[in-house]
Chains A and B, each alone.
Chain A
Amino acid sequence: MADINVNTVNKYFGDVHVIKDISLDIKSQSFTVLVGPSGCGKSTMLRMIAGLEDINSGTISIDGQVVNDLPPKQRNIAMVFQSYALYPHMTVFDNMAFGLKLEKRSKDEINERVNEAARILQIEDYLLRKPKQLSGGQRQRVAIGRAITRKPKVFLFDEPLSNLDAALRVQMRVELAKLHNELDATMIYVTHDQTEAMTLADDIVVLDTGIVSQKGSPLELYDKPNNMFVGGFIGSPKMNFMPSKILSKSADSTEVDLMGMSKISVPKLSASSSEGDAVTLGIRPEHLVVNGDADGSWESKVFVVEKLGDVTYLYLEKDGEPLVAETEGHSEIKVGDSVKVGFPAGRCQLFDSSNQAFK
C-alpha cells in the first residue's frame, strides 16, 4: 500500500520555474503515467518523488509520510533510468543484488530474490555476464530487474523504453503491463510517447510547462480533453483543429460555422462564450466520415494518401490548414480526388479563445 500525495509542489532551477504548484494524488497500486512534451517538467517531477531532486516548496508524501527530507533509500522506491545506468564493472547478478547487499540481506535471500526477478524478466541465462555483453533490450531488463529485487512500494520509470527500437519497445511495453499485474506495486512512469501512456496507464497526468494540464483515465483524456493541449497531445495522428466561430447558442448545443461552407450544432456548452466568439473546432481523424453522411460536411481535394494497411490517412487542405481523415485500409481514393468529409457532431470538440474545452 503506497499512496503518493504531491501537494502544491514548486521547483525552480535558478530563475526557471519548472514545476508550478502541482498537486497530485496517486493511488496505491495504480499505474500512473506522467506524459508531456520535453521540458514540461515530467522527469523533474519523477526525480523529486525519488528524492534525487530537492523541492523548493510544498510536500510530497508516500504512504502518508512526508518524505521531503528523506534520502531516496528511505523512501522505499526503486527507479529505472532511461539510459539503464547499469554498473559496468559488475555482472548482471551483482547489478541486481547490489541494493540487497547494501540492505545486508542474507546470501540465500539475495540469491532467491535475484533468481526470482531473473525468472520474471527471462534473463536467467545472462546472470554472469557483464552489461557490455548484453543487447539494449537485455540491459533494460536488467535495469528493471535491479528495481524488482528490492521489492519497493513504488516503482519509478524515467522513459525506460525510449532507447529501444520500435519492435522491442512494443514487446517491453506489454511486459511492463504484465509486470504491473504481477507485482501489485505503485508505478509511476514518465514518457513523452502518448502511445505508451495510453496503453499502460490506469491514470494519465498530462503536464504542460510545469502545470497539470489534465489528469484522468486514458479514455477520459481521449474523449473529453480539458483543453486544446491535451486534445492535440493524446491521439495519433493528432486531432484536427479548425478555426471557427459561434453562430448561435441553445440549451444543449452550440452552433458553429464549419469551414465557412456549412454549419454544425455541437452538443457542448460553455457559459463564458457568446455568439460571434472565435472558437476552435477539433475532431480526430478517425471520427471523420469519408464520403458518407454526417451532421455537417465539407469537400476537399486529397493532397497525400498514406496507406498503412489497416487504415488509410488522407491529407486534405483548407486555406493552408492541413486536415487528416482516416478511412478504410483498402480505400480506392487517390491523390487529386475530391472527397466529402462528414463531421459527426457528437465527436466534435470546441475550444474557446483561451484554449479551454466546452463541456
Chain B
Amino acid sequence: MKYIDAFRDPDLAQKIKAAIHHEVQNTDRIFRFMEFCGGHTHAIFRFGLPDLLPSCIEMVHGPGCPVCVLPMGRIDAAIALALSEDTTLCVYGDMMRVPGGKRLSLLKAKARGADVRTVTSPHEALMMAQDNPARQVVFMAIGFETTTPPTAVVIKQASALGLKNFSVFCNHVLTPPALGWLLKSAGDQNEDVPSLDGFVGPSHVSAIIGTYPYNIAAEIYHKPVVIAGFEPLDVLQAILMLIRQVKEGRAEIENEYSRAVVPEGNRKAQALMQEVFTLRDSFEWRGLGVIEKSALKINDAYAAFDAERRFAIQEQSTKENPACQCPAILRGAKTPLDCPLFGKVCRPENPIGACMVSSEGGCAAWYAYGTRGRRGAA
C-alpha cells in the first residue's frame, strides 16, 4: 500500500464530501468542531479542505502546537541559557524564530554569539555532549506526549553513560489536561472560549496515550471526540463521524485512526515517561493560562540531568505584545484575521507571535496555505 496516496485519494474524498453534505442537508444548525492538533490544521489548509465542507461546518483551531503554547518566559530562559558561556543549546528547528521578550529569538541570539544548534532528535544532542566534553550541552525538550518518550530515552542513556555535561530543559506538556480545560471552558464567556460541538482528537499523541484519557469528554462533558490521522481523508472522515454523533445525540470516543492507535496506547512509551518524568503541580500555557498537573518535569532519580536544577533556571514573566492575538487564537476564540498584526506586521519572516512561527501554528497555516479570504493583507 502506498501510504501517501491511499489517504489522499480524490475519489474517496469526493465520496466523504458527498456523505457530509448529505448528513447536513436538512439541518439549519451550525456544527462547530475543534481540531486539537496543529497537524490537523495544517492538513485542512494544505489540502484546501474548507472548500469541500458545507458552510454550516466551522472548524476551530486548538492549542495543539507545542511551540505556540510555551509561555514567553520559558523562551527567554532558553535564550539566557544559550547566551551563557561554555553552553551549547540544542533545539528543534521550530524553536529558532520564536520571539521572546525584548524582541530577541534564539536565531537572533545565535547571531550575537550564542551557541544554538538545531537538531532533529534528542539523540543528536546527546552525541554532541559526548563529542564536546568541555561544553555543557542542553537539550531544550518541547512537545506533547509524542516527543516525550524519546527525551526519556536520552536521559536514561546519559545516566547510563555517566555524562556530566548533558542536561535537558524540559518543557513537555500533556494533552488531556489541556483538553479538559477546553471542555470545562467551552462556551464560558469569562474564559473567552467558544462553545464547541466536538473534537477532532490528536493522532500521534493518541498513538502514545491511547483513547481512554479522552473518556472525560464523553462522560462528564457529553462531547464527542473522534481521534483522527493527519491525512486529508482522515480529517474528512472524522468530521463525518462527529456530525453523525451530534445528530444522533451521541457523545463517544471514536477512533478513526485505528491503523496507529489502540485503546491502551503504547505501554512501553508510557512506562518510559513514568520512569523519568513526574507531574508538575501546574504549568503556564500561552493562551490558556495556568493549568494544574498539565506538564512534566524530570523526577528526582534523574535530577542530575535536569537543566532547570543545574542552571537554577528561573522563569521570568515577560510582557507580550498586547496587539498579538495568539493567546485568543490558541483557545479558539479568534481567527488570525481578527488580529491587527496578521499578514501586516506579523509574517513568517518577522513573526510577532509563536503561532506564526511553527509549522503547526494556526497563523502560519493561514498565512502559508490560506485561500483568498484567509490571507489577509499580503
Partners in one complex: no
B residues in contact (CB < 8 Å) with A:
none
